[in-house]
Amino acid sequence: MFNARVVELSTEEQVRKRFRDIDVYPEGASIMTPKALHALIRLEGVGVKEAHILKQEMLSAGGEAAVAKGAVALTRKETDVLLMGTVKQLERATRKLSMQPFECPRIAEEIEETLENYSKGALTLKAGGRQLRIDRPLVMGVINVTPDSFSDGGEFLDAEVAIAHAKKLVKEGADILDIGGESSRPGSDTLPAKEELERIVPVLEGIIDDVNVLISVDTCKPRVARKVLDMGVHIINDITGLTSAELAGVVARHEAGIVIMHMQGTPKTMQKSPRYDDVVADILRFLRERVKRAEKKGIRRESIIIDPGIGFGKTAEHNLEIISRLKEFKSLGLLVLVGASRKSFIGKVLDKDVDGRLSGGLAMLSMSIQNGASIVRAHDVRESADAARMTWAALNSTR
């Protein structure tokens, strides 16, 4: 009796396990593993001469390349290209492409780097004198020391209450504590650095020596960052995506971690009709440029975390698409953070107010981890830590 089924495999370890299941020779398994993994790579703005050569090399390797109408006939100047094939075919085509003229060697280098980034296993985070190998998803617990945050405004404005809550989150499973003194809810105004520090410094003083987890501060102000990093904070979570060169310099000098987040506009304006040509491609382009900026300022790549900015200048449809296509962010080879907890798009889909969004948030958390998130930001840490562990256990059951 024959039984056929489709098998979906996305990592080398999953492929090797399937080979072991059917008792393949180890030598053969090593040769065949790259042939079992498939990839689609999109290249933007490729010259038509290079696109023509690229298509021929992919066809020669047994793969395929889709280009825009008129590209092969050279009736246009540029085209996006969608490469399709196994990893082995892509590697073979790239090697040959690197020996071709025009911009082909640079394109080959870009493909090689993207494939390498995408296939990276556990990444290491270096932040404020700490080095942590991220071999499972981490939970970042949120502490808003503000009177007006969208989900818990005013609840932890008192320093003693915030300190007690921070310690409670650690007991519930938080790997990172993220402390913010300025609300970034839609429509909010900026806060003077002095007032921001008055809110968060007492909280930091109450936990910095009493918890053994990474501590992050949500700020975009160099003055605030300098003060909290001097106190021993490990990570700066910048919702403006490292717009400030001065902030980048502060982070670099302290050898701290940095979360580079995408936001369209400012908290005051971000939800006024946000638009994108392709939401994931546009965000990736932004993050790639800001990561380069960070590196030029001396921030180590191992200290950079990227965040697509769920809810920051995005519609509900944008947010859902980002999470469903999150694997594309692995192309940068960096730790990816997702913060969907209690966000309004969950309320829109489920018709729930803030207090009723936990189940929807856990669904988004689980899907984010499945699609490559290394860190998930959450208000409800106990439930989120359990969901993260279960999702990771299921993902690793096939390895």
Instruction: Name residue, tokens 């290394």.
Output: 374
DSSP class of 209: T
What's the pLDDT score for residue 186?
82
Question: Looking at residue 191, which CATH number applies to its domain?
Answer: 3.20.20.20
Task: Report the number of secondary-structure helices (H) and strands (E) in the chain.
Answer: 14, 13
> In which band, very low, low, confident or very high, does the pLDDT at 152 lie, cut at 50, 70 and 90?
low
DSSP class of 205: H
Mean pLDDT score of the chain? 95
- Residues 237 and 265: their CA atoms lie apart, in Å, by 17
Range of the domain at 310: 123-396
Secondary structure element (H or E) that encloses residue 63, with its range? none
Domain membership flag for residue 346:
yes
pLDDT in tens, 89-145: 999 999 999 999 999 999 999 999 999 999 998 999 999 999 999 999 999 999 999
Domain membership flag for residue 5:
no
Q: Which residues contact 315 (CB under 8 A, 6 or more apart)?
A: 274, 345
Which of 66, 99, 118 is the endpoint of a domain? 118
Mean pLDDT of 149-173: 85
Instruction: Please check whether residues 129 and 104 belong to one and the same domain.
Output: no
Catalytic machinery residues: 343, 377
**Cβ atoms of 141 and 176 closer than 8 Å:** yes
**Cβ atoms of 183 and 144 closer than 8 Å:** yes
Query: Between the CA of residue 5 and those of 8, 159, 196, 348, 396, what are the distances in Å?
Result: 10, 57, 57, 38, 21
Instruction: Please check whether residues 204 and 286 belong to one and the same domain.
Output: yes
- Residues 196 and 219: their CA atoms lie apart, in Å, by 9
pLDDT in tens, 225-239: 999 999 999 999 999
pLDDT in tens, 349-380: 999 999 999 999 999 999 999 999 999 999 99
Secondary structure element (H or E) that encloses residue 304, with its range? strand 304-307
Instruction: Name residue, tokens 């190998």.
Output: 133
What's the pLDDT score for residue 8?
86
In the chain, how many domains are there?
Answer: 2
Asked if residue 31 has pLDDT above 70, the reply is yes
Q: Which residues contact 101 (CB under 8 A, 6 or more apart)?
A: none
Question: Looking at residue 56, which CATH number applies to its domain?
Answer: 3.30.1370
Asked if residue 298 has pLDDT above 70, the reply is yes
Domain membership flag for residue 27:
no
- Residues 228 and 292: their CA atoms lie apart, in Å, by 25
Asked if residue 178 has pLDDT above 80, the reply is yes
Phi/psi for 339 (5° steps) reads -120, 90
- Beta-carbon-side half-sphere exposure of residue 92 (alpha carbons within 13 Å): 18
Domain membership flag for residue 3:
no
Instruction: Please check whether residues 238 and 142 belong to one and the same domain.
Output: yes
